[in-house]
Structure 1
Amino acid sequence: MGFKSLLIKPIAKKVARDIKRSSKKAVEAQQAIFKELIQTGKKTAFGKEHEFEYIDSYDDFKQHVPIRDYEGLKPYIERIKNGEADVLWKGFPAYFAKTSGTTSGVKYIPLTNDSLPNHFGSARNALFNYFARTGHGDWLDGKMIFLSGSPEMEKVAGIPTGRLSGIVNHQVPSWLRTNQLPSYATNCIEAWEEKLEKIVTETVNQDMRLISGIPPWVQMYYERLLEHTGKSTIKEIFPNYSMFVYGGVNFEPYRDKLEELVGERIPSLETYPASEGFIAFQDDPEIPDLLLNADSGIFFEFIPAEEIFNENPTRLKLDEVKTDVNYAIIINNNAGLWGYNIGDTVAFTSTQPYRLRVTGRIKHYISAFGEHVIGKEVEEALLAVTRRHNIKVVEFTVAPQVNPADGSLPYHEWFIEFDQTPNKLDDFSRELDQEMVKQNIYYEDLIAGNILRPLVIRPLQRDAFREYMKTQGKLGGQNKVPRLSNDRKIADALAKFVMKP
Structure 2
Amino acid sequence: MNLKSMLARPFATYIHNKIKKGMETAVADQEAIFKSLIKSASGTAFGKDHGFKDIENYDQFKRQVPIRDYEGLKSYIQQVKEGKDNILWKGKPIYFAKTSGTTSGIKYIPISKDSISNHIDSARNALLCYIAETGNADFTAGKMIFLSGSPVLERTGGIPTGRLSGIVNHHVPKYLRTNQLPSYETNCIEDWETKLDAIVKETINQNMTLISGIPPWMQMYYDRLTELSGKKIKDLFPNFQLMVYGGVNFEPYRSRLFDSIGGKVDSIETFPASEGFLAFQDSQHAEGLLLNTNSGIFFEFVPANEIFNDNPTRLMLGDVKVGENYAVVLSTNAGMWAYNIGDTVKFVSTNPYRLVVTGRTKHFISAFGEHVIAEEVEHALMQAANEQHVKITEFTVAPMVQQGEGQSYHEWFVEFETLPFDMRSFAQQVDNNLRQKNVYYDDLIAGNILQQLKITQVRKNGFIDYMKSIGKLGGQNKLPRLSNDRRIADQMQEFLAQ
Whichever residue aligns with residue 417 of structure 1, its letter is E
CA distance in 1, matches of 2:8, 2:387: 43
Alignment-mate amino acid for residue 54 of structure 2? Y
Structure 1 position 252, deviation (Å)? 1.1
Q: What TM-score results when the alignment is normalised by the length of structure 1?
A: 0.98
Deviations 1:391-445 (A, max 9, x none): 11000000000127x9961000000000022120000000010000011010000
**2:253 matched residue in structure 1:** 254
Q: Per-residue deviation at 1:30?
A: 0.2
Pairwise mapping of residues 140-159 of structure 1 onto structure 2 (< 5 A)?
Answer: 140-159=140-159
- Which runs of structure 2 are paired with 1:96-495 in the superposition (5 Å)? 96-231=96-231, 233-403=232-402, 409-495=407-493
Aligned to 1:86: 86
Q: Which consecutive residues of structure 2, in runs of 5 or more, have no partner in the other structure?
A: none
Contact 1:399 / 1:412 at 8 angstroms: preserved in 2? yes
SS of equivalent residue, structure 1 residue 395: strand
Partner of 2:67: 67
Instruction: Return the letter of the residue paired with 1:314.
Output: T
Tell me by how many angstroms 1:81 deviates: 1.0
SS of match in other structure, 1:484: coil
Question: Is the CA contact 2:344–2:357 (under 8 Å) kept in the aligned structure 1?
Answer: yes
| 1:146-172 Cα shifts (integer Å, max 9, x gaps) | 000000000001100000010010010
Give the 3 Å change call, closer, same or farther, for CA 407–467 of structure 1 in structure 2. farther
Task: Determine if contact 2:287/2:348 at 8 Å carries over to the other structure.
Answer: no
- Whether contact under 8 Å (1:421, 1:459) holds in the other structure is no
Separation (CA, whole Å) in 1 of partners of 2:332 and 2:412: 38
The secondary structure found in structure 2 opposite 1:117 is helix
Q: Residue 95 of structure 2 aligns to which amino acid in structure 1? A: Y
* 1:229, distance to aligned residue in structure 2 (A): 1.3
Report the Cα offset of residue 7 of structure 1.
1.1
Shift of 1:16: 0.6
* Letter of the 2:184 counterpart: Y
User: Match of 2:392, as an amino acid?
Assistant: V
In the TM superposition, residue 36 of structure 1 has moved relative to its aligned partner by 0.5
Quote the offset at 1:499 in angstroms. 2.1
Q: 1:43 maps to which residue?
A: 43
Distance 1:69 1:88 in 2: 14
Structure 2 counterpart of 1:8: 8
CA–CA distance in structure 1, aligned partners of residues 300 and 380 of structure 2: 29
Identical positions, percent: 60
CA distance in 1, matches of 2:115, 2:406: 54
Please give the secondary structure, in 2, of the residue aligned with 1:419.
Answer: strand
Instruction: State the secondary structure of the residue aligned to 1:171.
Output: coil
SS at match of 2:155: strand
What does the per-residue CA deviation read over 1:217-271, in whole Å, with 9 as the maximum and x for residues that have no partner?
101100111111122x111110000000000011111111111111023100000
Structure 2 distance, partners of 1:219, 1:287, is 26
Q: Name the aligned partner's letter for residue 261 of structure 2.
A: V
Q: Which amino acid aligns with 1:154?
A: E
Which amino acid in 2 is paired with 1:132?
Answer: A
- Cα distance in 2, alignment partners of residues 246 and 415 from structure 1: 24
Q: Distance in 2 between matches of 1:497 and 1:124?
A: 40
Following TM superposition, by how much is the alpha carbon of 1:288 offset from its aligned partner in structure 2, in angstroms?
A: 3.2
Secondary structure (helix, strand or coil) at the match of 1:330 reads: strand
Structure 1 residue identity aligned to 2:458: L
2:396 aligns to what SS in structure 1? strand
Give 1:57's aligned amino acid: N
Deviations 1:316-366 (A, max 9, x none): 100011111111100001000101000000111111111111000000000
* 1:498 positional shift: 2.1
Q: Give the distance between the partners of 1:312 and 1:195, measured in 2 at CA.
A: 46
Aligned-pair Cα RMSD in Å: 1.0
**Which residue is equivalent to 1:21?**
21
Please, which runs of 5 or more residues in structure 1 have no aligned partner?
Answer: none
Q: Is the 8 A contact 1:381 1:435 kept in 2?
A: yes
Q: Distance in 2 between matches of 1:407 and 1:161?
A: 52
Deviations 1:78-111 (A, max 9, x none): 1011111100000000100000011111000000
Counterpart-to-counterpart distance in 1, 2:158 and 2:396:
40
